[in-house]
Structure 1
Amino acid sequence: MGLNLLSICRRGLHTSPARLQVIQGVAPTKRICIVGAGPAGFYAAQLLLKQLSDCVVDVVEKLPVPFGLVRFGVAPDHPEVKNVINTFTKTAEHPRLRYFGNVSLGTDVSLKELRERYHAVLLTYGADQDRELELENEQQGNVISARKFVAWYNGLPGAENLNPDLNGRDVTIVGQGNVAVDVARMLLSPLDALRVTDTTEYALEALSRSQVERVHLVGRRGPLQAAFTIKELREMLKLPNVDTRWRTDDFSGVDSLVEKLQRPRKRLTELMLKSLKEQGRASGAAGSKQFLPIFLRAPKAINLGEMEFSVTKLQEDYAVATDNTERLPSDLILRSIGYKSSCVDSDINFDTRRGRVHNTEGRVLKDTEKIDPGLYVAGWLGTGPTGVILTTMSGAFAVAKSICDDIAANVLDTSCAKPGYDAADKRVVTWDGWKRIDQFESEAGKAKGKPREKIVSIQEMLKVAGV
């Protein structure tokens, strides 16, 4: 094992003598592999390295670059949310962590191989598929997922060719979560405000030619069930030259329920009611754009240039369709009704209906009830796409603690040494390679007055990383 690691080091995969010394220690080393370099993966690594002084954590990531949804999912005009990258970087530079970018589970390495080479494997590769509306004509060109649209303006490799049609006046977003509001804000924001963010250059160019004037944000339930948070709504209400127009009928009886709501929901509802009350006093300036939240509407049909919705009513918080319908002009339709994960390896016990891995509190199940020792899952791959980064952090910490507990209880046999991932003859991007990409992007962005200009081509990333 020592000679193999030394040869890897000489190939440039490890430049830190401290790392090599730790990894080649005389005592048997507990080896843990984390598949996925997003928030769940890094938070889990952070706790494992803190709790287990004799462990080595290897992070295997499909893309050459780390950080997952923090890099590719967070809105460009929310740079403060990306500050968590500083914490992840500190974890990544720990002498007992190794980063292997450009390594795909199920293609470059199998789950079986990883389990043979590590004492424990933690799957955290996220959710990369969309839930669909399941309507006729959904596959036509003017219907795309909000996830893909976000990936497009955030520079996810492969998304640069999306080419959303922004030539029409009306965009309808189906869904009312924070992602849906992010997309609405990107479509309605002044271009100058986006030019100083890390929005990709090709997206800025497309948005500069956009003819979009109205964005409908449609949900099947009422204002009291809206999934967006107060921060996102407040930002929308403050957008210059954007007139937010609520429908008075959607808020029938809502004001009488405000005092009974829990604080976060109460504050959000009060803000909506305040905005509703003020909207009649002064309409938007001539030529201003419109943000149009619409409640109690369920998708029914997609037609040429429009979308048809069933009017719904609430029964114990559930939306039930009535016989009444409404048509909205829809030159472009963006669905934002949730994500689901993919099964990338046939050995993963995957719940295809729910789009996540079968598990109990992060321990992967071998069958319907029996735990598969040594295999774990965290993040959206285990829970489904719920919560924000803080939710992911709490969940990842809990699963990492379960790994520590299982090692302490000898549920996992760590008495025999394990070799770890063999990167020989593979085009692997190390952390040093990522730092070269990071520096290149930062310098390219600086020349344009932006935090960074992301590389969107994987081949270009590999070239810059020196692989």
Structure 2
Amino acid sequence: MSSPIHVAIVGSGPSGFYAADTLLKSGQPVLIDMFERLPTPFGLVRSGVAPDHQKLKQSIQVFEQIAGSPAFNFFGNVTIGEDIKVEELRQAYHAVIFACGAQTDRRIGISGEDLSGSHTATEFVGWYNGHPDYRDRSFDLQQEVVAIIGQGNVAVDVCRILTRPVDELRSSDIAEHALEALSQSRVREVHVIGRRGPAQAKFTTKELRELASLTGVTATIEPAQLRLSPVCETELAHPTASNAKKNFDVFGSIAANVPASDKRRIHFEFLASPIEIRGKDRVEGLTLIRNRLSGEAFSQQAVATGDPFELSCGLVFRSIGYRGEPIAGLPFDAVKGVLPNQRGRVGQDGAPLGGIYVTGWLKRGPSGIIGTNRADSIETVESILEDLGKATVWEALGMAAIETTISGLRKKVVGLSDWRAIDAAEIERGAARGKPREKFTRIEEMLSCCP
């Protein structure tokens, strides 16, 4: 193929950059235009990875190298579906890859979920990471008891930021407004609640151990909660369950802890589901129900026993998973929260739309770690190349076809040189505070740095 393949990628997180990398290494001549609704790239690596986990952000260095290719262009502060219609992109490019993730939280669906003091984990994570969408959220950290619904790594991050000594966060890239609020926090006790048992908790062991060894914090579990059924023992004995087995060993050491009155406390609660968030005008507590597990190994479901109990708390964070949002002009699976697809080909009822592809969480659902997106993106790019190899490739114009639309937008469109100016300014601001960077938390602040 002598003429270049024109590909648009919507979203600048890991899945988008891994797709770009795969295309650039495919051996085919290619031109890539990446679109991002924020002025800043890198998605959840920038705004989702916890500020005290700087090593996990090192993948940004790889993404920067990908962005340096002469065949790559970045267009930030552009919202696809609003500033540029999906069909307009489809007509301009040989392939359009949607890599814009799962942007909203799943709801529990119980009474009181929208009370003041009940928040999604996404809000809190975005707030302390300086995401513009969540800059002005407020959290009542004067409450002493907090409940976190969910037992995955996001729940661990929320718990750790709430309980870690503030002085240990000062050298991270946590947003300054969050650092100030956390320095005034009165949170003393955090309950991390899961509907299933310790053998099914989704923490990674490294993060769990870190949580269990925080300075000035005691983690506790009631020993009775670690009694396993034969089915759970079967799960832990399986060769694929090494992470769960390591977690269970950590839980065992936690269960031996004796709470200290002068320390903050983290308490793990298993086999419990919230059935109501109580309160008149704001959160006052949770009503939970005990569960038992039913089913075969690795497919056990939590079944309510009808044994409710109460937990008094003033703040609730819901961390039970994410879901994608519908995109105007595209089919959407409302149950799974993804774009329906076959190996990345977006379609409905088994019929691909042609030219529209998806990768990442919007393709498979919110699972895996940053690196999981690589294999996912490779599969999608393979589908693109296979489709183009079978078809008569029409003359796509790429950016030239939508240049009039882009130039007609009544706002700044951020290119790579603009992003690098924002990046340099954030690093300079951070250096003055002994931090890796001090992020701009408002879009107008970011744009003011652009040349």
Q: CA deviation at 1:130?
A: 1.2
User: Quick one: structure 1 residues 179 and 416, their matched pair in 2 at CA, closer, same or farther if it must change by over 3 Å?
Assistant: closer
Q: Tell me whether 130-139 or 292-301 shows the greater mean CA deviation.
A: 130-139
Q: Per-residue CA shift, 1:244-271, capped at 9, x if unaligned? A: 1111121113696554463222222222
CA–CA separation in structure 2 for the residues paired with 1:431 and 1:53: 23
* Match among 420, 423, 435 for residue 435 of structure 1: 420
How many residue pairs end up in the alignment?
434
Q: CA deviation at 1:417?
A: 4.5
Q: Which residue of 1 aligns with 2:285?
A: 306
Match of 2:309, SS state, is strand
Asked if structure 1 preserves the Cα contact closer than 8 Å seen for 2:91 and 2:396, the reply is: no
Q: Per-residue CA shift, 1:433-465, capped at 9, x if unaligned? A: 000000000000000000000001111111212
Q: Which residue of 2 aligns with 1:368?
A: 349
Matched, 1:77 2:40: no
Matched, 1:271 2:280: no
Q: Per-residue CA shift, 1:388-431, capped at 9, x if unaligned? A: 11211211121112212222232x62455543541324321000
User: Quick one: structure 1 residues 92 and 167, their matched pair in 2 at CA, closer, same or farther if it must change by over 3 Å?
Assistant: same
Q: CA deviation at 1:106?
A: 1.0
Match of 1:114, SS state, is helix
Q: CA deviation at 1:374?
A: 1.2
User: Quick one: structure 1 residues 168 and 416, their matched pair in 2 at CA, closer, same or farther if it must change by over 3 Å?
Assistant: closer
Superposed counterparts of 1:33-182, under 5 Å: 33-182=8-157
Q: Which residue of 1 aligns with 2:444?
A: 459
* Match among 372, 375, 381 for residue 394 of structure 1: 375
Q: Which residue of 1 aligns with 2:326?
A: 343
* Match among 393, 410, 418 for residue 413 of structure 1: 393
CA–CA separation in structure 1 for the residues paired with 2:111 and 2:260: 38
Asked if structure 2 preserves the Cα contact closer than 8 Å seen for 1:241 and 1:285, the reply is: no
Q: Which residue of 2 aligns with 1:325?
A: 308
CA–CA separation in structure 2 for the residues paired with 1:348 and 1:259: 44
Structure 1, unaligned stretches of length 5 or more? 1-25
Asked if structure 2 preserves the Cα contact closer than 8 Å seen for 1:30 and 1:417, the reply is: no
CA–CA separation in structure 2 for the residues paired with 1:112 and 1:407: 19
Asked if structure 2 preserves the Cα contact closer than 8 Å seen for 1:307 and 1:327, the reply is: yes
Q: Per-residue CA shift, 1:101-134, capped at 9, x if unaligned? A: 0000111000000011111100011111111111
Matched, 1:358 2:340: yes
What RMSD in Å do the two structures reach over aligned CA positions?
1.6
CA–CA separation in structure 1 for the residues paired with 2:415 and 2:395: 28
Asked if structure 2 preserves the Cα contact closer than 8 Å seen for 1:128 and 1:341, the reply is: yes
Residue 389 of structure 2 aligns with an amino acid whose one-letter code is A
Residue 370 of structure 2 aligns with an amino acid whose one-letter code is I
CA–CA separation in structure 1 for the residues paired with 2:123 and 2:396: 44
Q: Per-residue CA shift, 1:76-100, capped at 9, x if unaligned? A: 0110010000000000110000000
Q: Which residue of 2 aligns with 1:378?
A: 359
* Match among 178, 197, 207 for residue 172 of structure 2: 197
Q: Per-residue CA shift, 1:183-226, capped at 9, x if unaligned? A: 00000001011111010000001001100000000000000100
* Match among 386, 401, 407 for residue 424 of structure 1: 407
Residue 294 of structure 2 aligns with an amino acid whose one-letter code is Q
Asked if structure 2 preserves the Cα contact closer than 8 Å seen for 1:52 and 1:404, the reply is: no
Structure 2, unaligned stretches of length 5 or more? none
Q: Per-residue CA shift, 1:30-63, capped at 9, x if unaligned? A: 1000000011000000010111441100001000
Q: Tell me whether 262-271 or 352-361 shows the greater mean CA deviation.
A: 262-271
Q: Tell me whether 86-95 or 47-56 shows the greater mean CA deviation.
A: 47-56
Match of 1:33, SS state, is strand
Q: Which residue of 1 aligns with 2:195?
A: 220
CA–CA separation in structure 1 for the residues paired with 2:238 and 2:130: 43
* Match among 268, 284, 287 for residue 293 of structure 1: 268
Asked if structure 2 preserves the Cα contact closer than 8 Å seen for 1:31 and 1:420, the reply is: no
Q: Percent identity?
A: 38
Q: CA deviation at 1:353?
A: 2.4
Asked if structure 2 preserves the Cα contact closer than 8 Å seen for 1:29 and 1:417, the reply is: no
Q: TM-score, normalised by structure 1?
A: 0.90
Q: CA deviation at 1:284?
A: 4.6
Q: Which residue of 2 aligns with 1:20?
A: none
Residue 112 of structure 1 aligns with an amino acid whose one-letter code is E
